[in-house]
Structure 1
Amino acid sequence: MSTAHHTSSVTGLHSNIELAVAAASRVSSTALQAGMRAPLFALADAEGKEITLEALLDAGPVVLNFFRGAWCSYGARSLADFSAVAEELAALGASAVTIGPSIQALQRSTSAAAITELYDVDMEVARTYGLTFNLPSSLRQLYRQLGYQPPNNSDMADSWLVPVPAMYLVNRDGVIVLASVELDYRKRFGAASLLGALKAISPAKRQRRVQISTCHRDCRT
């Protein structure tokens, strides 16, 4: 490959990425934010069993990881990053849930086993959370070649919806306490803020606060 051809290919790739990121920018005004109530949903897991957010919240906080799908190398990488912290999330009492239009089979490691994979085939849940955008027509053939298939039940003519990566931490009351919506899908998942927020609402921490409060009250009597 000539230097000129390589440079042209790289320039074209960056141009396509920037076009997709620009189109995704509308999600900044539609995506759910911290402090909002997380909409309840029911989706099938890898075995076809229906899983509801309500049931998950009965057991404790829930981390929802919306990802682009196995067709996208960046999406696959973000799923691997999420899998790497699944054990820590579980140890803090949270359910780790990944949601995508199609879920690649995770390697059945201990970490992967701690993740609940849910299929949002027509992106109904992603839409409810405000995490979809209409892909420019100039990029649609490229996305098809990469293996992406848009949802079939779109309500809009000439719609080609694509999901935006996002991470939500939902407390047991169903309120979003941390929202991370990534318009640039190339950026890597950051676990530090998620783990920090989860530790702040973990049962162990709340129990410690109660014990400290009780001690202070008893010491004054």
Structure 2
Amino acid sequence: MPDNKESVRQLLADLHAQRVATMDPKALQINIDQRQLLVRSVNRGRFVKTGDVLTPFELEEVNGATLTLDTLLEHGPAVLIFFRFAGCPACNIALPYYQRQLAPGLKKLGATLVAVSPQVPERLVDIKVRHNFDFHVASDLGNALGRRLGILYTFDQASQQASVASGKPIGEVTGTGTWELPMPTVLVIDRQRTVRFVDVAPDWLVRTEAEPILAAVEALQVEQRQPALAS
């Protein structure tokens, strides 16, 4: 089980506190306003839901392998964690947290973990190498899966202007050429392709703790054992 003393939400709250103390106030306010706008205005009815059955999809692992839904489910359930891009500060806190607190438990439970971003593989590989992740990191090319799941958002005007002024428009950073990114999302998918757990965070400084993800996968194991016990 994970160390319950470590919370990804607290780690990200600490990041925000550091930004308040050190970041240019105007730049920080643009960041805050975009996150608050998403929380207020996002259409949650578009989000993928528990009980949805997923149709086949493909992701491109940063090492060049193609990950299909069927291959991810070959030996057990799959856990998909959508994140923004390799240079995202919050993602560089959240994904190492999942490496410490989630990945070992999922491995014991026979589940496959994949971190997913629309960033092109040759740029996305950096975050896997830098943190030495032992789980898959894969590109959702063209945001194809994120769009199907209803979890994409578009930079607001102020954020677009700030991104251009920085000299690093997000479409150039990701290699997608667009202003779209996925909202941080966790999916647990069973071997019948059914979504058994989903959590979408319009505010990218809010991420899912490890415990409910592990609990959802553990519940699948209990269900699988019940028919055997009944017989």
TM-score tier (shorter): 0.7 to 0.9
Identify the residue that residue 63 of structure 1 maps to in structure 2: 79
User: 1:180 matched to which residue of 2?
Assistant: 199
Q: Secondary structure at the match of 1:168?
A: strand
The sequence identity of aligned pairs, in percent, is: 23
- The Cα offsets for residues 49-72 of structure 1, whole Å up to 9 and x where unpaired, read as 111012211221000100011221
Q: What TM-score, normalized by structure 2, do the two folds share?
A: 0.75
TM-score of the superposition, structure 1-length normalised?
Answer: 0.78
Q: Shift of residue 123 of structure 1?
A: 1.2
Q: Deviations over 1:149-195 (max 9, x none)?
A: 337778xxxx6212211000001100001000011111243011111
Local SS of the residue matching 1:180: strand
Q: Does the C-alpha gap of structure 1 residues 8 and 52 become closer, same or farther in structure 2, counting only changes over 3 Å?
A: closer
For residues 19 and 166 of structure 1, what CA distance do their matches in structure 2 show? 18
Q: Does structure 1 residue 122 correspond to structure 2 residue 138? A: no
Correspondence for 1:136 among 112, 132, 156? 156
Q: What's the C-alpha RMSD, in Å, of the aligned pairs?
A: 2.7
Q: How far has the Cα of 1:105 moved from its partner?
A: 2.2
Question: Which residue does 2:185 correspond to in 1?
Answer: 166
Local SS of the residue matching 1:59: coil
- Alpha-carbon spacing, 1:153–1:207, altered in 2? closer, same or farther (3 Å): closer
Larger Rg: 1
Check the 8 A contact 2:81/2:114 in 1, yes or no. Answer: yes
Q: 1:126 to 1:146 in 2, by over 3 A?
A: farther
Match of 1:192 in 2: 211
1:79–1:106 CA distance, 2 compared to 1 (3 A):
farther
Aligned to 1:72: 88
**Preserved contact between residue 38 and residue 203 of structure 2 (Cα < 8 Å):** no
Across the two proteins, how many residue pairs are aligned to each other?
A: 200
8 Å CA contact 1:134, 1:161 repeated in 2: yes
Alpha carbons of 1:193 and 1:19: their partners in 2 closer, same or farther (altered >3 Å)? same
Over residues 59-94 of structure 1, what are the superposed CA-to-partner deviations in whole Å (9 max), with x where a residue is unaligned?
210001000112210122121122221121011011
